[in-house]
Amino acid sequence: MKLARPLLIVAVTAALLSVAATPATAEGPTDKLKRGLAGLFCGFVEVPGTLCEETRHEGPALGLTAGWFKCAGNFLAREFVGLYEFLTFPISWPDNYKPYMQPAYPWDRFTSKKEESPVPPPPAVK
Q: What is the pLDDT of residues 31-64, one digit of tens each?
A: 999 999 999 999 999 999 889 888 888 899 998 8
What stretches in the chain show pLDDT beneath 50? 17, 20-22, 117
Domain ranges of the chain: 44-112
pTM here is 0.65
What gap in Å lies between CA 61 and CA 111, rounded to an integer?
21
| pLDDT of the residue at 16 | 53
